[in-house]
Structure 1
Amino acid sequence: MAGLTTRGTKGPPTRWNGGKSLYDEMEHMLSKLWEEGQEAWFGGRHIPSLDIEETESAMEVKVDLPGLKAEEIEIQLNGNMLTVSGHRRAEKEEKGKKTHYMERKFGSFSRTVSLPSPVEEDEVAAEYHDGVLHITLPKPEAAKGKKINVKG
């Protein structure tokens, strides 16, 4: 961008120094396009963020679900497919209150992921606190691996 020049109505070309503002404007337009694209693609539904971590003995999944109660969350495990779903209720409108901006999503949500390792279905445990769902999925003995000592 440093070598870009602009031609005024009179005189020689002058150096254009609006690169930062152009960059900021492009960033704003692209992020807005991305957000609107996600709205169109996912139909305005809430897609919760999650992390999957693996230890020697278990798969650990954390799902951000702020504002829900534990009884509003459903977890299903089918083979290595884990589904977290639920419903976030819309707040009741108050008379005399006008909403100017609303980003929080309400309604049903569902998130399905493929787990990278087999798990013991009967030993899965889940806890929900501070808006984060923690799911612990223990691995079967065969999936934990075995350390083999090398003799020399």
Structure 2
Amino acid sequence: MAIMRWEPFREIERLEPFREIDTLQRQMNRLFDRLMPTDGGEKMGFTFVPAAEVEESEDAVHLRLEIPGLEANDIHVEASPESISISGERKSETKTEENGITRSEFRYGKFQRVIPLPTLIQNDKVKAEYKNGILRLTLPKAESERNKVVKVNIG
């Protein structure tokens, strides 16, 4: 006797949209499984990835990252001419007491984000400021990139 896979949706054509939903659900499950790091088979939680915004001006690239809950000395920034690497570790604890009940929450986690830059920069002249959970980096463009003129051909 052969073992056959039962596919009830194939048998009933009018339920074809449900089969597509089932496929979508499996794909989403696989995506979330990849996002969740594992340690010996157990899920550890989502990895923290700070939101970033890159803006380019005539003489510099401006980068802002949202990294709330950290101290400036907990953030590590490394600059190369082509990219910026930001890493750090979150250590957060809140404790509240109300009506004789104590509630305590902890949140820990390391993060790292490497951001490729749209142009070459002078990595030895990067300026950084961290205030109210926002890291602001001013990345001066390399001299060769500032004066770069590109000829545009019109069809």
Shorter-chain TM-score above 0.5:
yes
Over residues 69-108 of structure 1, what are the superposed CA-to-partner deviations in whole Å (9 max), with x where a residue is unaligned? Answer: 1111110013312100111113166783266xx8xx5221
- For the 8 Å contact 2:81–2:122, the answer to whether it is kept is no
Aligned twin of 2:61: 59
Closer/same/farther in 2, CA of residues 58 and 109 from structure 1, 3 Å limit:
same
Q: Which amino acid aligns with 1:58?
A: A
Which one of 32, 35, 38 corresponds to residue 38 of structure 1? 35
Aligned twin of 2:122: 120
After superposition, the CA RMSD in angstroms is: 3.8
Q: Which amino acid aligns with 2:102?
A: G
TM-score w.r.t. the length of structure 1 is 0.63
Give the gaps of 5 or more residues in structure 1.
Answer: 1-29
Aligned twin of 1:97: 103
Aligned twin of 1:133: 135
| Structure with higher RCO (Cα < 8 A, 6+ apart) | 1
Q: Which amino acid aligns with 2:69?
A: G
Q: Which structure 1 residue ranges, 4+ long, deviate > 3 Å from structure 2?
A: 30-37, 92-96
C-alpha deviation, 1:140, in angstroms = 1.8
Over residues 126-146 of structure 1, what are the superposed CA-to-partner deviations in whole Å (9 max), with x where a residue is unaligned? Answer: 001111100000002210135
Q: Which amino acid aligns with 1:70?
A: A
TM-score w.r.t. the length of structure 2 is 0.62
Q: Percent identical across equivalent pairs?
A: 29
Cα distance in 2, alignment partners of residues 129 and 147 from structure 1? 36
Range moving further from structure 2, 89-98 or 107-116:
89-98
Residue 70 in structure 1 maps to residue 61 in structure 2: no
Cα distance in 1, alignment partners of residues 31 and 148 from structure 2? 45
**Alignment partner of 1:106: what SS?**
strand
Closer/same/farther in 2, CA of residues 142 and 37 from structure 1, 3 Å limit:
same
Report the count of equivalent residues.
134
Closer/same/farther in 2, CA of residues 114 and 32 from structure 1, 3 Å limit:
same
